[in-house]
Structure 1
Amino acid sequence: MKTYQGNKIFRVGKIVNTQGIKGELRIVPVTDFPDRFQRGEEFIVEDAKGQQFVTIVESARPHKNFILLKFKDMNSINDVEKWKGGELFVTEENLAPLEEGEYYFHQLIGLQVYTEDQVHVGTLDDILQTGANDVYVVKRPGQKDLLLPVIDECIREVNLDKNQIIVYIMPGLE
């Protein structure tokens, strides 16, 4: 888990290139909330060497599959060139609020997975974003990973207080 000044931070974008000569950066969003990229928003920028600093968005606009961001006090390509290959993060307090029954990946990864009969299946190790629905990757001791589609038929309950997910393993998934 990455931190900034002792606070957990979460990746929301990858800086892939510069755009023009006036200090804009091309960002590939890695968030379900691309609307967070707007004027006045605060981000932690980390370069490829791990150096971090906090900055404020001066302007933002969509461009093809990217978001073009310009940060305050960065007015030329020379000011932003060093950030190519870097990443954008937000602190936990700046994460977008979620609806009831929605969770951030970091809240789910590491939870224990059980069947409805309370048989321990394994630990949620990863979440794949496939397009139609996400897929939970459950690491099972001594067995191949179990891939569970995140659909109501399979995922019966998520209980963060008990650190567990209750699932139904449909025939053919094992």
Structure 2
Amino acid sequence: MQLVVARIGRAHGIKGEVTVEVRTDEPELRLAPGARLATDPAATGPLTIATGRVHSGRLLLRFEGVTDRTGAEALRNTLLIAEVDPEELPEDEDEFYDHQLMDLDVVTADGTEVGRITEISHLPSQDLFIVERPDGSEVMIPFVAEIVAEIDLEEQRAVITPPPGLIDDRAEIASARDAEGSDDADGSGEDAS
């Protein structure tokens, strides 16, 4: 099975290095020197990683045969794809591959059906589940421990505890004015004490 593990960004310097947007929790395994990766678009690859290093918190890669800035710029926005055994699981039990999460049923802790995961969006700050609801609309669920309480691969479901307003229109609105109004029993605007 093929998994997208990174997206190539802009060229860095003049010797063929590129910045990389990492899309794997195992970059030391998937993006190590010597790794041969398929690409999307396919005509760009396959690419073999010659070197890798971290610079200012960003992963930089250089590929075999790419020795200058022009060659590096030509790779921009290319997706890097690793071949992975479908039975392979991440080392950490709280980590999942995208293919494991796709099509899971999403339910609330009380069993209310929310929908089915149709896409996983990888953002810099967090990942999002794109969930198709039974009526065809979509809702985005942040894949964070505070909201996604459980991933049960055997039952093929994700259990969520959404805050008010995430999946419905019943958002709780709290303001300082509401708090002041509760102390104002006589309606005069002044505190009775």
TM-score by length of 1: 0.69
**Alpha-carbon spacing, 1:85–1:103, altered in 2? closer, same or farther (3 Å):** closer
Aligned pair count reads: 164
| Structure 1 residue 84 displacement after superposition | 2.8
Greater Rg over alpha carbons, structure: 2
Give the CA RMSD over aligned residues.
3.3
2:150 partner amino acid: E
Supply the distance in 1 between the matched residues of 2:124 and 2:137 (Cα, whole angstroms): 20
Q: Which residue of 2 aligns with 1:167?
A: 160
**Match runs of 1:94-109 below 5 Å:** 97-109=90-102
1:62 aligns with 2:54: yes
1:44 pairs with one of 20, 35, 38:
38
| Structure 1 residue 29 displacement after superposition | 2.1
1:122 aligns with 2:88: no
1:90 aligns with 2:74: no
1:159 partner amino acid: D
| Structure 1 residue 111 displacement after superposition | 0.8
**Alpha-carbon spacing, 1:18–1:124, altered in 2? closer, same or farther (3 Å):** same
Supply the distance in 2 between the matched residues of 1:152 and 1:78 (Cα, whole angstroms): 42
Supply the distance in 2 between the matched residues of 1:62 and 1:154 (Cα, whole angstroms): 32
Contact kept in structure 2, 1:136 and 1:150, CA below 8 Å: yes
Q: Which residue of 2 aligns with 1:4?
A: none
Q: 1 or 2 for the larger relative contact order (CA 8 Å, sep ≥6)?
A: 1
Q: Structure 1, unaligned stretches of length 5 or more?
A: 1-7
Q: Which moved more, 1:103-112 or 1:152-161?
A: 152-161
Supply the distance in 2 between the matched residues of 1:147 and 1:100 (Cα, whole angstroms): 24
**Match runs of 1:3-18 below 5 Å:** 8-18=1-11
2:46 partner amino acid: V
Supply the distance in 1 between the matched residues of 2:130 and 2:57 (Cα, whole angstroms): 28
Q: Structure 2, unaligned stretches of length 5 or more?
A: 169-193
In structure 1, the residue corresponding to 2:85 is in which secondary structure?
helix
Supply the distance in 1 between the matched residues of 2:128 and 2:69 (Cα, whole angstroms): 40
Supply the distance in 2 between the matched residues of 1:92 and 1:156 (Cα, whole angstroms): 27
**Alpha-carbon spacing, 1:44–1:123, altered in 2? closer, same or farther (3 Å):** same
2:63 pairs with one of 63, 71, 94:
71
**Alpha-carbon spacing, 1:158–1:83, altered in 2? closer, same or farther (3 Å):** same
1:19 aligns with 2:12: yes
